[in-house]
Amino acid sequence: MADDAAQDDRPQIYLITPQSFAPDDFAPQLADVLDGTQIACLRMALAGEDEDTLARAADACRDVAHARDVPIVIDRHIQLVERLGLDGVHLGDGARSIRAARKALGADAILGSFCGASSHDGMNAGEAGADYISFGPVGDSNLGDGTRAEVDLFAWWSQMIELPVVAEGALDTGLVEALAPVTDFFAIGPEIWSEDDPLAALRRLTAPLR
């Protein structure tokens, strides 16, 4: 029982899609990953704004995810959640859009908020109704202004705040090992999709969790 409890306490994997993909090609890859390891949630993170492209991608991802009882959220597009049969939305502007999203989507929708490296933004988003907070990047990245979400931020959050927290951005095995005691989820996507075998890459990256 102790081993089972320890396993249950380990962070879960929150999978992020590539920013661009052909739905027919990506769906089998996604199915392979979802069948090969336990995934808590899928985020559809396409960079484009074309609604037809988003809809085709959502159809493919939703069918694969829901067939395996994995909820799926979409980046930014609050108005597409219900239209595309998705489970929620991941927002990138701290607390600013959370209240409007909750009002639009209702109590059952999953609402996530990316808050960079700001505990203040995270707390505000939680108070506004977010279901989880995401901090990042946790590794060295050329994105944004270069500010990293350090281990100390996650340690403080895990001690002081009950709201689930996600670590994301430029993860490697060392960061997974360091953050495992103080985060609830690892958001993983760019780290694996460029590999020939994304599932194998995911297993290597998350080896410290096993």
**CATH (one of 3.20.20.70, 3.10.129.10, 3.30.420.40, 3.40.1010.10) for 11-204:** 3.20.20.70
Q: What is the pLDDT of residues 179-200, one digit of tens each?
A: 999 999 999 999 999 999 999 9
Name the pTM for this structure.
0.94
Domain residue limits, the chain:
11-204
Rounded to whole angstroms, how far apart are CA atoms 26 and 17? 9
pLDDT digits (tens, 9 = 90+) for 87-144: 999 999 989 999 999 999 999 999 999 999 999 999 999 999 999 999 999 999 876 7
Q: What are phi and psi of 39, to 5 degrees?
A: -120, 130
Taking phi first (over 0 means left), then psi (-120 to 50 degrees means alpha), and beta for anything else, what does residue 116 get?
Answer: left
